[in-house]
């Protein structure tokens, strides 16, 4: 085996193997989706597994066995509750270690070692990992607020496998970020006397992109949430229409149609998801 291949295999720690497996699973799902329905055994079960929200509502009616695995989409808030608590704890541990010199808890340090966090003397990554964890926690806190007070969820469902993946995702993301912190025993290793001395231009650029994308995504969610409400704060069913994005948001609650306006609603079909790619790791 060539030295390059050996180096690649040695770098494939458990966390990277998990993310590589998930990426391969998503690509395989995309390829299977392109196959004609008759060529895929158990096509109905497969379609029910990958479909999401309103795409599950169609004809013919779904079998009762498939509906048994449904979870309300409003359970989205559970993802962010887990993320705020878990990643907030990781951020607190990292902050204590970077600025006060406190060691990581022994069980957390052991978990990071099992997942492939290496002991190395390269403290330049400490500030980057710290900022990513801060942004992840702030994003989760904002999304939790939106789920509770801004978004209006309909009665659509998601598959329980998708629900479990969402819970595990935010736990793994925090551990993945923390595993990039250079370690010296149970302490975070920092080059120089102050971690803030590692600040570079790309840290400032990343911070600006995070703030702008977060504000834009929040605006999109406010527009979408308001479009679902009538004057009585009820949630009727509407047909959406894309029109000029030069307006902010308007609707006519006396009709069955509503105009989806503003905040890149014309340029992008789902601008709130586009902003998410710039906010989350």
Confidence (pTM): 0.77
Compute the distance between CA of residue 163 and CA of residue 174 in angstroms, rounded to an integer: 18
Q: Write down the pLDDT at residue 236.
A: 46
Q: Write down the pLDDT at residue 2.
A: 46
How would you write the pLDDT of the chain (281 residues) with one tens digit per residue? 444 444 444 567 888 888 999 999 889 888 887 877 667 666 777 777 777 766 666 656 777 777 788 888 888 899 999 999 999 999 999 999 888 888 999 999 999 888 877 666 555 678 889 999 999 999 999 999 999 998 888 788 888 888 999 999 999 999 999 988 888 888 887 766 677 788 888 889 999 999 998 998 898 888 888 877 654 445 444 444 333 333 344 444 444 444 454 555 544 545 444 444 445 55
**Which among 73, 35, 31 has a CA at the least distance from the CA of 52?**
73
- E strand or H helix that includes residue 217: helix 201-227
Compute the distance between CA of residue 235 and CA of residue 140 in angstroms, rounded to an integer: 25
């Amino acid at each position: 085996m060539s030295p390059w291949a050996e180096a690649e295999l040695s770098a494939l720690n458990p966390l990277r193997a998990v993310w590589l497996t998930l990426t391969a699973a998503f690509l395989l799902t995309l390829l299977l989706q392109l196959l004609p329905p008759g060529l895929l055994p158990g096509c109905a079960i497969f379609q029910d597994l990958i479909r999401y929200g309103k795409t599950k509502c169609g004809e013919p009616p779904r079998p009762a066995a498939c509906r048994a695995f449904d979870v309300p989409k409003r359970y989205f808030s559970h993802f962010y509750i887990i993320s705020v608590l878990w990643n907030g704890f990781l951020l607190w541990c990292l902050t204590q270690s970077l600025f006060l010199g406190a060691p990581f808890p022994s069980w957390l340090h052991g978990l990071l070692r099992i997942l492939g966090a290496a002991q190395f003397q390269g403290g330049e990554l400490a500030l980057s990992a710290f900022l990513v964890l801060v942004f992840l926690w702030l994003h989760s806190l904002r999304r939790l607020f939106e789920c509770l007070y801004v978004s209006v969820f309909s009665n659509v469902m998601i598959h329980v496998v998708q629900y479990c993946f969402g819970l595990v995702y935010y736990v793994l993301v925090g551990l993945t970020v923390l595993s990039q912190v250079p370690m010296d025993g149970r302490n975070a290793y920092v080059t120089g006397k102050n971690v803030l001395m590692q600040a570079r231009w790309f840290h400032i650029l990343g911070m600006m992109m995070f703030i702008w994308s977060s504000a834009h995504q929040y605006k999109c969610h406010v527009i979408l949430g308001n479009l679902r409400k009538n004057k009585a704060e009820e949630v009727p069913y509407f047909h959406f229409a894309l029109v000029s994005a030069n307006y902010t948001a308007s609707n006519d609650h006396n009709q069955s149609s509503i105009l989806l306006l503003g905040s890149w609603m014309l340029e992008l079909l789902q601008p709130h998801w586009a902003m998410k790619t710039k906010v989350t790791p």
